[in-house]
Structure formats: structure tokens, C-alpha cells
């Protein structure tokens, strides 16, 4: 899928003799969620195979992939296909609402909620909560609150509804509004659960009220609601940000004393706290402890350490950590982007290209941001031809480069009097489907 030209992908797949299964297709679509149109072509090909029917998971994954590259017309075509097969459900529309909200397409997200019944899917509290969550997670809590206030008579809010708004105002951050939601929740007879308490602790920590957050932890413990590892991870992370490393360690030890088993999220918070005060010997000791306890590191573990080392200018150590970590956990898009950007900024373009090559060998599909970082690095070194190849690769995947990245390349092509190449790339960009909202 990664190496085949788009025109020959279907024939190559036909000749491969691969017998597709639901599990295989779901795994491939997940792995290639950033591959844009290449994923869609595979999805289309699979749908034509004998004795195979797309699962709902496959449909939802490709809907998410198409939304990422703004192929909304095709996305709604998939929805129509699901309707014809009778497999549409509430989660289908929740996926679309989240994607529109993330792209700051407010009207389209609301439209998706409103059009559900037209597609034969009943609106319910889960869908309402998902719409609110979509806006809160895309930093538009005011719109979520506005929708909540106008629709709460249609749907009886539950603890999840209030928790969503509470978290949204916490991220804003707006502590008075968060307190107001918390009071309204209790006033309406909704008892806080472990999730609500966790969010309230997180809100207080984000607004610098860590000592008040400790009081909430004590209160919930007294109400028979035992603090979770997540709550301790929030406390440890906040202490780390405030350079209160001893308090972070004490919180970790208290958690263990209370019989709560540390997971990778807690360890990542502790690693972040040690990174903040540049105590890297402790960082490596924590990694060793995780290894002994059989708790695998994840990409977040790697990224926290790398980000700290790169910020300090310790690029050699960052590369050493990168090589160590890729042996024990799968890097994510942020890991690769961080390393490529680091090498571009320290004028080691050949190393950035090596990381890119390694990423390709691992069959990892880069995001728009990863492409942009390397294209900008190539442009900075005057490697215009290589930059053009990458832009063309992006467009082949249905991913449009950002205006600033393409503008930089455009200036270089004009400077080198290569207007023919520029026209070719612009033509390819114009071939991308740019349809308006379609039902």
C-alpha cells in the first residue's frame, strides 16, 4: 500500500492472492489511518472481494481517515453506504461530530447531530453527550455550554454530561464556571462519581489549586470513593510542573502505601517531574523499575524524555534515548516529528532523512505535520527537488500541505525559475476533492 502507485494499487492487490478477513482489514485501516486516499482505495478494493463484508469498525475507521484529510463528500458517501446496508448506529455520527469539531466546523458538527433521524438513527443522551464532548475537546466549551443550555430539557443530563462540561471549563481554564457546573450537578441530584472527582482534581491542579485538589482527594476518600491511579498521576504531574519534586515523590509513595498499583500513566508523570528538574539519573532508574515490574513504556514515555532533552539542547543524548526506546516501544507520530525537527534544526539533514527512512521501513504513515517539518528542513537547505517529491507524496495520499509550507516551497521554485514544477504541484493540489457539506 505504501509503495504502490495509486493507479496500480488495485491490480497489485488483486495479484497478491491475499485472502482478506475482518480482523486483517480493521488492523490495516487502523495502521494506515494517516494514509488518506491510499487507505480509501484499499477500503474500496476490499469491499469488492467475495465473501467479505465491512465491519462497523472498518466503516468508522475510514470515516475518521477521510475526515482527517477533509474529504467530507466521500465521508458522507460511506455513511450512505452504511445506511443502505443497515449498519448505521449512534457511534457513526459521534465519530463525524468529533472530526468536524476538531476541524472547527461548528455548523457541520451540529448538522450531523440534527440529521441523525433523517438517516433512521434515534437521537439519545449518548449522542448529546458526544456532541458536547466534541466541542469541549476541541477547545470550544462555550459552544458546548450553549448547546447544553438549549437542549437540556430534551435530554436528562447524567453524571457523564456534567463531567464533560466540567472538564471543558477546566481546560479553558475557568474555575468559577467549573464550580458552577459542579454545584448544578449536585443540585440536580447527580452524585459525583470517580470520573467527576478525577476531573475536579484535574481542574483544580490546572488552575494552580493543587492543595485544594488534595482536599478533594481526602473528601472523596472519606465518601468511600477511593482515589485512582489517574488522580495520583494528575497530582504528580502538577507537582512536577511546579518544580515540587519532593511532593511528587511523596504522592507516588502515598499511592503505593494505599495499595494502588502504578500504571504507565503514573510513571510517565513521575518521569516528567524528574525531567522538569533535570534529574535524568532518576528518570533512567524509573525506566528500570518499570522494566522490572513488567510495565511497558509507551510512546508518551519516550516523548516526555525526548522533549526535555531536546529543550535542554542535549541532542546527542536525545538520539541515544530514541534508539533505546524504539527497541522497547512503538514510536508515535510525535516521536518521529520531534526527532526529524531536531535534526533539521541542528543542521543534520542527513540524520533527519535517516529517521524518515526508518519510519518508512516500519510502515509508519506520517501526518501532515511530520511531512511539513521535513519539507521545511529541506527548503532551508535548498533541497528543492527532494521537497517537491515529498509534497507530491503528500498529495498522492490526499493530504494537502499547509499554506506556510507550500508558500515557502513556492518562493524557492520561483527563485530557481522552475514555474513548470510549481504549476504541476498546484494542479495536483486542485485535483483533491474539495466538496462542501453533503448529505
Q: What is the pLDDT of residue 33?
A: 87
Q: What is the pLDDT of residue 6?
A: 60
CA atoms within 13 A on the CB side of 201: 28
* Interacting residues of 130 by C-beta distance below 8 A, sequence separation 6+: 90, 93, 94, 97, 98
Give the Cα separation of 109 and 93 in Å (integer): 9
Cα–Cα distance for residue pair 89/45, rounded to 1 Å? 24
Axis crossing angle, helix 141-151 with helix 159-171, rounded to the nearest 10? 150
DSSP 86-135: T---HHHHHHHHHHHHHTT-HHHHHHHHHTGGGGT----HHHHHHHHHHH
Which residues lie below 8 Å from residue 237, measured CB to CB, with a gap of 6+? 205, 269, 272, 273
pTM, two decimal places: 0.77
Residue pair 207/241 in contact by the 8 Å Cβ criterion:
no
Q: Is 436 exposed, middle or buried (0-12, 13-18, 19+ CB in 10 A)?
A: exposed
- The pLDDT, as a whole number, for residue 439 is 37
Q: What angle do CA 200, 205, 210 make, to 5 degrees?
A: 110
CA 235 – CA 178 distance, rounded (Å): 18
For 352, the grid coordinates are 533527519
According to the model, what pLDDT value does residue 1 have? 72
Q: How many CA atoms lie within 13 A of 173 on its CB side?
A: 13
Q: Which regions in the chain score pLDDT beneath 70?
A: 2-7, 432-439
pLDDT in tens, 220-243: 877 778 899 999 999 999 999 999
69 φ/ψ angles, rounded to the nearest 5 degrees: -105, 20
Query: Cα 436 vs. chain centroid, distance in angstroms?
Result: 25
Q: Tell me how far apart the alpha carbons of residues 428 and 3 are, in angstroms, rounded to a whole number.
A: 19
Instruction: Look up residue 6 and give its DSSP letter.
Output: G
Write the pLDDT tens digit of every residue in 44-60.
999 999 999 999 999 99
Amino acid at each position: 500500500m505504501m509503495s504502490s502507485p495509486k493507479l496500480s494499487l488495485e491490480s497489485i492487490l488483486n495479484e497478491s492472492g491475499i485472502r482478506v478477513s475482518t480482523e486483517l482489514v480493521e488492523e490495516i485501516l487502523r495502521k494506515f489511518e494517516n494514509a488518506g486516499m491510499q487507505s480509501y482505495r484499499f477500503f474500496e478494493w476490499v469491499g469488492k472481494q467475495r465473501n467479505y463484508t465491512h465491519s462497523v469498525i472498518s466503516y468508522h475507521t475510514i470515516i475518521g481517515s477521510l475526515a482527517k484529510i477533509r474529504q467530507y463528500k466521500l465521508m458522507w458517501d460511506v455513511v450512505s453506504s452504511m445506511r443502505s446496508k443497515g449498519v448505521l448506529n449512534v457511534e457513526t455520527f459521534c465519530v463525524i461530530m468529533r472530526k468536524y469539531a476538531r476541524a472547527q466546523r461548528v455548523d457541520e458538527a451540529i448538522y450531523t447531530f440534527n440529521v441523525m433521524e433523517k438517516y433512521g438513527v434515534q437521537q439519545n443522551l449518548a449522542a448529546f453527550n458526544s456532541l458536547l464532548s466534541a466541542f469541549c475537546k476541541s477547545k470550544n466549551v462555550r459552544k458546548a455550554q450553549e448547546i447544553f443550555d438549549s437542549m437540556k430539557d430534551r435530554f436528562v443530563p447524567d453524571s457523564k454530561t456534567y463531567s464533560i462540561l466540567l472538564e471543558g471549563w477546566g481546560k479553558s481554564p475557568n474555575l468559577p464556571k467549573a464550580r458552577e457546573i459542579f454545584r448544578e450537578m449536585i443540585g440536580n441530584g447527580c452524585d459525583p462519581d470517580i470520573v467527576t472527582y478525577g476531573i475536579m482534581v484535574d481542574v483544580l491542579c490546572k488552575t494552580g489549586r493543587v492543595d485544594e485538589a488534595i482536599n478533594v482527594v481526602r473528601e472523596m476518600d472519606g465518601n468511600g470513593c477511593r482515589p485512582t491511579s489517574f488522580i495520583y498521576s494528575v497530582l504528580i504531574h502538577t507537582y512536577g510542573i511546579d518544580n515540587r519534586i519532593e511532593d511528587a515523590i511523596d504522592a507516588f509513595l502515598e499511592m503505593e502505601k494505599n495499595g494502588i498499583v502504578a500504571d504507565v500513566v503514573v510513571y510517565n508523570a513521575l518521569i516528567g517531574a524528574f525531567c522538569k528538574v533535570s534529574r535524568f539519573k532518576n528518570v533512567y532508574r524509573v525506566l528500570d523499575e518499570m522494566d522490572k515490574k513488567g510495565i511497558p513504556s509507551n510512546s508518551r514515555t519516550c516523548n516526555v524524555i525526548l522533549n526535555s532533552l531536546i529543550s535542554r539542547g542535549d541532542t546527542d543524548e536525545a538520539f541515544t534515548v530514541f534508539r533505546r526506546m524504539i527497541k522497547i516501544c512503538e514510536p508515535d507520530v510525535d516521536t518521529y516529528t520531534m526527532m526529524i525537527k531536531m535534526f533539521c534544526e541542528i543542521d543534520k539533514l542527513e540524520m533527519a532523512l535517516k529517521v524518515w527512512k526508518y519510519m518508512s521501513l516500519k510502515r509508519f504513515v506520517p501526518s501532515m505535520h511530520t511531512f511539513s517539518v521535513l519539507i521545511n528542513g529541506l527548503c532551508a537547505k535548498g533541497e528543492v527537488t527532494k521537497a517537491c517529491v515529498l509534497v507530491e507524496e503528500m498529495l498522492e495520499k490526499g493530504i494537502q500541505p499547509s499554506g506556510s509550507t507550500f508558500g515557502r516551497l513556492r518562493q524557492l521554485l520561483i527563485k530557481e525559475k522552475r514555474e513548470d514544477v510549481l504549476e504541476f504541484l498546484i494542479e495536483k493540489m486542485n485535483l483533491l476533492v474539495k466538496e462542501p457539506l453533503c448529505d
